[in-house]
Structure 1
Amino acid sequence: MALTDTAARTAKPREKLYRLTDAAGLCLEVTPSGSKLWRFRYRFGGKAKMMGLGAYPAVTLAKARERREDARRLLADGIDPTTHKQEEKRAQAAHVHTFEELAREWYAYNSPRWAPATAAKALQYLEGDILSVIGQRPLQEITRPELVALVRKVETRGALNVAGKVRQWLSQIFRYGLAKGSVVSNPATDLDVVAAIAPRTKHHPHVPLSEIPTLLAKLEASKCDPMTAMAVRLLLMTGVRPGELRHAPWEEIDLESATWTIPAVRMKARRPHIVPLPTQAVAVFLKLREMTGSYPIAFPGRNNRERPQSENTVNKALHQIGYEGRQTGHGFRHLLSTELNSRGYNRDWIERQLAHGDQDEIRDTYNHAHYLPQRRQMMQEWADSVEALCTGANVVAIRSVKS
């Protein structure tokens, strides 16, 4: 009769070793010490042999039967299952797992969750700053001091943000290895304790609002591409990030409703972002559409119309008209934030307009498209005040809005 789990569980040790048989060569060996070991009895090359299949109850009766069937399939192919098992163990012991193997597996597991740009940049730093140094090192031999030295090398070239990412990725890779059983410890913990002290954060420079008319006038009078001047005006009037503007396809921009909807895949925070367009921004887009409306991207590159405008185009133009170190494309966001906050607008409206994350994740998800009417009015008033300043009209102070 076939063995049952109840019989295996209740089997008691005796003075001498004995076996409870199942079928097709499987049996449970009960030792005087109480151990219960699965054995597979078979014949190979005319000789009786026995193979261990694990200990009960860690290996259940069902699992033992699976292992027996695996062994019987090997026998059917003319392979001794015991010899096969020994060869697999030797091959496994002979293979030295390198850090690169684990790192590549970690990257393949995580990269689908990241934005394409994030995944590409992560791979660039992974290969350039980590794998090039310790990629071929055996996993079990990597020590904390050599990881500290690796990060120090990144810090010495002034790339402190990259060094922070490297510390983070090293820790995550070893944590992944711990979960897989590839390593027994994480030598990358607490690397931040010895991190180089970052210099005081320098915000993207921007000129005061009073200088904006002069800046725009110089830009219009310069020999820069008209599209570049339009890009500057749109950055000023919308507060979007330069990269969000450069890559904007026309299909995102609805000029009839004066609304620009940026999908989550293109946003830094991975949430969709709705940008209300003041009438001045709509006018710029209408003029731009006459120039680039036949292309998928609103700001196509000069040499390749299928690709977006270069990321350096706006900053280069500002540099050429004398604003190097004083104004950047990203700096218009800081100008907008400073001005709107000083005028007393609701902070939540401003943060949503700038697509900043909310520390309260639930609140952030709920509010991702909120305040649109309020933001539309706020941004129209902002654009009107900039226009009035540029035309020399009397600028009426915008009334403080608290809610």
Structure 2
Amino acid sequence: MPLTDLLIRKLKHSGKPSGDKYNDGRSLYLLVKEANKYWRMNYRYEDKHKTLALGIYPEVSLAEARELCADARKLLRGGVDPKPKKQNPSELQDEVDENTFEALALQWLTKMAASRRSATQEKVQAWLEHDLFPFIGSMPAAAIKPRDILGVIQRVEARGAIDSAHRMKQVCGQILRYGVAVGWVERDVTPDLKGALVAIPRTNFAAITEPKQLALLLRSIDAYEGHIVAVSALKITPMLFVRPGELRAAECSEFDLDAAEWRIPAAKMKMKTEHMVPLATQAVAILRELYRVTGHGKFVFPSLRTEQACMSENTINAALRAMGFSKDVMTAHGFRATARTILDEVLNERVDLIEHQLAHRVIDPNGRAYNRTAHLPARRLMMQRWADYLYKLRAGADVIPLHPVPGGGQA
């Protein structure tokens, strides 16, 4: 059986001098020895058995170890030994001088281009060019120390961009882990910076969770006048309750309207796992109407300026403000909390089905994450019931308030 984070956290060294070995599959295993847990990969190269060190848990997570192992196997398929050869000191120094952080980062950036949205790729490249390369770009990647990265991201933090500072730290970690896979560096040093940055302030997205208020919002959406792209996005958002970025970047190729389903690729998902969204009949009708205008292009919700880009991230929030719903009352992301609360507390839907549909990580009794198709028939029925409920609510059906009003009345 493949390893899980829950199992790994519980593993203890049995006391065997050679340590305890736990296989994950595809030649990757965890070696538990004394107080440490080492990631290792066994492989064969030029008729010799070899072992590649991939880091220490939890500095290198299970997912990261699997990714490093996959990168190493790619090198093997190309005839390259993923374990760097020993060189004489002068050759090694020449290689270190050439293997700069900038050179490594650019290699990594090229590798990521195929699996990442162009807007994200451009933002990361801008961070590298403006904030990282001028200070540590010319340093040998193998010589990068935690204090070098900290100095750079603290400059970003000092100008008030706390979230960007944390994201930049993550990017440095991804680059260095790629460096481990290709043999340029020994380890990712960013885990040593844990706690060194100001914590990101927690943000709760405003959301309407009372059915009567939701009914008013749905009627406002129905009466909203605007471009068909914005109107369609507004109408379908409450029904699907995906993350705003997932909806904006939706591509026509991801939808099968005849099968009434939307498959969101793993690269677009927060949890990096493909997600299935069953489409209620009402959602399919909205999309078929929209496809008359946008169905010939790449994006379901294209930008009004160019079909080569998706709808602006501010479109739905701007429409909510235009309808009179302030950012303290409702946000585009808030539709997820709306659905989560009412599906559970009013419609009494199964919580695990709701969590699956929210694309949250749901663990089975054995500690394993369910796959993307788990309980799909039941989720289809739930999504249809939810769409039916929204349409009845918009039409003025009687609703049961969630919270009583002080004094004995009801909201």
Tell whether the structures are fold-level matches, with TM greater than 0.5.
yes
- The question of 1:371 aligning with 2:375 is answered yes
Distance 1:396 1:309, change over 3 A: same
Question: Which of 81, 98, 101 matches 1:99?
Answer: 101
Q: Shift of residue 349 of structure 1?
A: 0.8
> Radius of gyration: which is bigger?
1
Equivalent residue, structure 1, for 2:48: none
Cα-to-partner distance string for 1:43-75 (whole Å, 9 max, x where unaligned): xxxxxxxxxxxxxxxxxxxxxxxxxxxxxxxxx
Structure 2 CA distance, aligned partners of 1:191 and 1:281?
Answer: 46
Output the CA distance in 1 between the equivalents of 2:378 and 2:146: 53
Identity of aligned residues (%): 36
What are the Cα deviations for residues 69-123 of structure 1, in whole angstroms up to 9, with x where unaligned? xxxxxxxxxxxxxxxxx9x869939957643234334545x62685345554433
* Residue in 2 that maps onto 1:348: 352
- Equivalents in 1 of 2:144, 2:246: separation in Å? 41
Who is 2:262 aligned against?
260
Contact 2:98 2:140 in 1 (8 A): yes
1:283 to partner: Cα distance: 2.6
CA–CA distance in structure 2, aligned partners of residues 95 and 248 of structure 1: 43
Q: Give the C-alpha shift of residue 195 in structure 1.
A: 1.8
| Counterpart contact for 1:267–1:273, Cα < 8 Å | yes
Kept after mapping to 2: 8 A contact 1:385/1:395: no
User: Following the alignment from structure 1 to structure 2, what is the Cα–Cα distance between the partners of residues 283 and 234?
Assistant: 10
Corresponding residue for residue 361 of structure 2: 357
Question: In the aligned structure 2, how far is the partner of 1:388 from the partner of 1:180?
Answer: 57
Deviation at 1:215, TM superposition (A): 2.4
Q: What displacement does 1:347 show? A: 2.2
User: 2: CA distance between counterparts of 1:111 and 1:99?
Assistant: 16
Amino acid at match of 1:338: T
- 1:317 aligned residue: 319
Aligned to 2:214: 212
SS of the aligned residue for 2:277 comes to strand
Change (3 A) 1:339 1:141: same
Secondary structure of 1:323's partner? Answer: coil
Report deviation, 1:234: 0.7
Name stretches of at least 5 consecutive residues in structure 2 with no aligned partner.
Answer: 1-87, 403-411
CA contact (8 A) 1:234 1:284 kept: yes
Question: 1:388 offset after TM fit, Å?
Answer: 1.8
CA RMSD of aligned residues (A): 3.7
Equivalent-residue separation in structure 2 for 1:182 and 1:254 (angstroms): 44
Contact 2:237 2:335 in 1 (8 A): yes
Offset from partner CA, 1:241-290 (integer Å, 9 cap, x none)? 22332333334333333323333344333333222222222232233234
Match of 2:137 among 135, 138, 148: 135
Cα deviation for residue 341 of structure 1 reads 2.6
Structure 1 partner of 2:127: 125
1:158–1:257 distance in 2 versus 1, CA, 3 Å = same
Q: Could you say which residue in structure 2 is the equivalent of 1:37? A: none
Higher relative contact order (CA 8 A, sep 6+): 2
The 2-side partners of 1:270 and 1:126 are apart by 23
Amino acid at match of 1:347: V
Q: Partner residue of 2:8?
A: none
Pairing partner for 1:328 from 327, 331, 335 = 331
Structure 1's 195 and 379: CA in aligned 2 closer, same or farther, altered over 3 A? same
Kindly state the Cα deviation for residue 237 of structure 1 after the two structures are TM-superposed. 0.6
The structure with the greater share of residues assigned to helix is: 1
- State the SS of the aligned residue for 1:261: strand
CA distance in structure 2 between the partners assigned to 1:262 and 1:93 by the alignment = 42
Question: TM-score w.r.t. structure 2 length?
Answer: 0.63
Residues 206 and 102 (structure 1), Cα distance of their counterparts in 2 relative to 1, 3 Å cut? same
The aligned residue for residue 386 of structure 1 is 390
5+ long unaligned stretches in structure 1:
1-85, 399-403
Q: 1:101 to 1:216 in 2, by over 3 A?
A: same
Verify the 8 A CA contact 2:176 2:188 in the aligned structure 1. Answer: yes
Question: Does the 8 Å contact 2:100/2:138 carry over to 1?
Answer: yes
Aligned match for 2:279, one of 277, 287, 308: 277
Is contact 1:167–1:192 with CA below 8 Å preserved after alignment? Answer: no
Distance 1:359 1:122, change over 3 A: farther
Please show how residues 280-299 of structure 1 align to structure 2 within 5 Å: 280-299=282-301
2:100–2:140 CA contact under 8 A, matched in 1: yes
Alpha-carbon shift at residue 177 of structure 1 (Å): 5.6
The secondary structure found in structure 2 opposite 1:195 is coil
Contact 2:239/2:386, CA 8 A, preserved across alignment: yes
Match of 1:191 among 167, 190, 193: 193
SS at 2:138 equivalent: coil
**Code of the aligned partner of 1:286:** R
Distance 1:91 1:336, change over 3 A: closer
Task: Sort the Cα spacing of 1:132 and 1:211 in 2 relative to 1 into closer, same or farther, 3 A.
Answer: farther
Task: State the SS of the aligned residue for 1:190.
Answer: helix
**1:150 aligned partner, one-letter code:** V
Distance 1:295 1:184 in 2: 45
Query: Residue 340 of structure 2 aligns with which residue?
Result: 337
